[in-house]
Amino acid sequence: MNSLIGQILNNRYQIQSLLGRQVGRRTFLATDLTTQTLVVLKLLLFGPDFIWDDLKLFEREADTLKSLDYPSIPKYLDAFELETELGSGFGLVQSYIEARSLQDWIDTGRNFSEAELKAIATQVLDVLIYLHRQQPPVIHRDIKPSNILLDDSRSGHSPGQIYVVDFGSVQTLHHSGTLTIVGTYGYMPPEQFGGRTEPASDLYSLGATVIYLLTRTHPADLPIRNGRIQFKASSQVSASFEAWLKCLIQPDCERRFTSTQLALTALNDEHFIAPTYLPLAAKPADSKVELTKTNDQIQITIPPVGWRRKLEVIYTNIGLTLFCCLPLLLGLWHPLQGKRKKTIEKLCYFARPA
């Protein structure tokens, strides 16, 4: 992809530098030679790593950005087909935002106070409220530090202006039938692993993002108990803010806030107390199922049924069969047969013509 630096695509966009890469996609900083402004150019090329789901998500991102108009979201500018020395593909042009990602800020050693974390969460929630109120609702599905930009207009308790970018994983409830699983491990809610997303799924990702900014530890590296991320924040933030975070990262989406607006209201409540729930059922002591977690996947191993268990099942079925057939073997069906014969004779008697 470095060979594209300096090239002019679609007779208009001159590529300046590589901003990021994903499987099947590359994002460049480019100059619009018509307006002499910087733009973000995303390319999807039909290369060896291309899969059709990439094209589906690419087209969905373009269609979604066309329909959105919000100051904290990049604006759709252009889309086109292209031919390059690396192959054919598609280009998507968005407005360029002069800001750094939260991930970049953390990497440079910046710390955030509780007031700044609340301000960041408030601005992200404002964007999510706008997205979730669309018809059909738009779910981002990949809220994380690298997809949230923050400019350098820091002042007082305000950390600066927030922008939500990268709609390459976006989904609308109209497309909820898809089985495409996207997102980033550690920030994805449990239901997203099964290909199902709700507006509350974005809330979980926001909670995991704020926890990362607070602890400076990737959520995937934090301990899990009863399916929920465990973090120590009592000495750093207020009890109400910690309770708010714990409500966001409930593993069961029905136990999170029922709407993004309610999450915003609770964030501004200094006396917020999270509702209490019974703990999720723990793994049975005799369970042989093994759960292995790595940085990018979860592996569930279900062992095969052993021969002893198979014999138990066979003997149980034989026992049930003998029990059910025991009346027949003892001849208890004869009285029933006699009663049925008498009943038939009575019916025949009343049915005779007078």
Instruction: Tell me: cis bond preceding 136? Omega within 30 of 0 counts.
Output: yes
- Sheet-wide strand order for 87-95: 8-9, 13-22, 25-32, 37-45, 87-95, 76-84
Cα(183)–Cα(160) distance, integer angstroms = 26
Q: Which helix (H) or strand (E) holds 32?
A: strand 25-32
- Please give the backbone phi and psi of residue 270, each rounded to the nearest 5 degrees, phi first: -70, -15
Cα(6)–Cα(344) distance, integer angstroms = 98
Tokens of 88: 């054919």
Q: Cα Rg for the chain, rounded, in angstroms?
A: 30
The residues that are catalytic are 142
Q: Which helix (H) or strand (E) holds 19?
A: strand 13-22
Tokens of 48: 């060896």
Please answer whether residues 249 and 211 qualify as being in contact, where contact means their C-beta atoms are separated by less than 8 angstroms. yes
How many helices (H) and strands (E) are present in the chain, helices listed first?
A: 9, 15
